[in-house]
Structure 1
Amino acid sequence: MTAVSFAASDVSKAEASLRSSFPQVKFDKVLPTEIPGLYEVDSGTNIFYYNPDKEIVIIGEMVGKDLKSKTAERRGALAANVVKDLPLDKAVKIGDGKKVVVEFTDPDCPYCRKAYEYFTKRTDVTQYVFFAPLAHPQAITKVEYILGAKNKGAAYDSMMLGQPIPATAPAPSDADKALAQEHMALAKKVGIQGTPTFYINGQQVVGADTAKFDELLK
């Protein structure tokens, strides 16, 4: 039996042990980690670890000597895979460049506005913008305004620039409100924990990391 076969057999045993010891836990996949006897368990975009010898579940971050979270990197990769199936027709489309950026943002978030400024200077990008005002729930009214506007791009610009909703704007329809809630549900499905969060070339970028944008979009 090859080393690969041994590894596959060990993973199967770990998965069987997890199902037996924790039948209430739902998960999608079990993978070996770089630590012998410890397995990564993927559940949607969430990750935890399992040691079958001790029948112990470990919840937390695995951090390397560079002080970067290996767990966060894997969560980002899982989320990027989920993003491939997002209904982009329900996002606000900004620009018509060849490079695609999927974004979860919040009109009242200062870091989101910093990222917004960055992308206004690029003509080579198409953004698909979803809204997730997690830290500013009152911003849902601005989201509903944007999603209900005839010119969504212009409405998006005005809200990201900190302008108020026009007094002449019609009240949001039930469909606008439902779409805003659908954006929130999609953010939850992807596992968004903060804004802004971007997906570029299969990688997740959290925050207004303009240097990382430059790297991924060059």
Structure 2
Amino acid sequence: MFLKRGLFASLLLGAFWLGSVAVANAAPEAVKPDAALRAAFPQVPFDSVTPSEIPGLYEVVSGQSIFYFYPDKELIVTGEIIGKDLKSRTAERRGALAAKVVATLPLEKAVKIGDGKISVIEFTDPDCPYCRKAFEYFSKRSDVTQYVFFAPLAHPAAITKIHYILGADNKTQAFDAMMLGQDIPANAKPVTEAVKTLAQEHLNLARKVGIQGTPTFYVNGQQVVGADTKRLDELLK
């Protein structure tokens, strides 16, 4: 009886092992999310595909843009993921991506304002009212060095003021005058091709960083969008 029971048990274990091997061999290999995205949307360029905070949903980075991919249904999802603190997780990730690009910006092409120990990189527009509010804020601080790039995204007519600032002998003085709403002096120097090229470089850099509105600031790798003086106070302590 013992031998029969032992033989039965051995046969049962053998059958289980063979069945497991057969199932394992038959199971299809899981398709990686990036391969699935490429297969479903071959026309969509992307740099990386990583898991998001939501199970089954993947974050896709394309340049400075972020969207989401749901492989199970082959769906692209656009929009923001908002946390319970009502802050956009997506915006935070965009800011982190932009900060990496900002770290490589050619600061020698910016307009340097001040000589404080804290560096602030700014994308601004002389015709933007919120930019002027931020200008008032920084005009009261002596502990900051601003590196200003111009991005007239919403006010293309501001380009004449930008040309004036970039071509001025005293760029700080010209910047102050334009941010205070003054007119371009009648005796201003003619705009050169070099100045026009520099202004276009500023705009190209803003697009490379992914600037969507002005003013936008970067302080120690942290992004501040808008004239958020409370947040600036926190970062400039």
Interval of TM-score (by shorter of Structure 1 and Structure 2): over 0.9
- Within the candidate set 155, 159, 171, 2:178 is matched to 159
The corresponding residue for 2:212 is 193
- Within the candidate set 158, 168, 172, 1:149 is matched to 168
Q: Does 1:41 align with 2:83?
A: no
TM-score (norm: length of structure 1): 0.92
The corresponding residue for 1:86 is 105
Gaps of 5+ in 2: 1-29
Please give the alpha-carbon distance, in whole angstroms, between the structure 1 residues aligned to 2:217 and 2:175: 17
- Within the candidate set 128, 151, 167, 1:109 is matched to 128
- Within the candidate set 12, 15, 27, 2:46 is matched to 27
Superposed CA offset, 1:119-176 (max 9, x none): 1111111110000111111110000000011111111111111111000002210111
Tell me which amino acid in the other structure corresponds to 1:20. A
The count of aligned residue pairs is: 209
Please give the alpha-carbon distance, in whole angstroms, between the structure 2 residues aligned to 1:14 and 1:136: 40
For residues 7-22 of structure 1, the aligned pairs below 5 Å read: 13-22=32-41
- Within the candidate set 71, 92, 102, 1:73 is matched to 92
The corresponding residue for 2:236 is 217
The corresponding residue for 1:7 is none
SS in structure 1 at match of 2:176: helix
Gaps of 5+ in 1: 1-9
SS in structure 2 at match of 1:53: helix
Please give the alpha-carbon distance, in whole angstroms, between the structure 1 residues aligned to 2:85 and 2:234: 20
Instruction: Provide runs of 4+ in structure 1 moved above 6 Å.
Output: none
TM-score (norm: length of structure 2): 0.85
Q: Please say which structure displays the higher CA radius of gyration.
A: 2
Q: Percent identity?
A: 73
Please give the alpha-carbon distance, in whole angstroms, between the structure 2 residues aligned to 1:132 and 1:57: 30
CA-atom RMSD, angstroms?
1.4
Tell me which amino acid in the other structure corresponds to 1:197. T
The corresponding residue for 1:98 is 117
Please give the alpha-carbon distance, in whole angstroms, between the structure 1 residues aligned to 2:187 and 2:104: 36
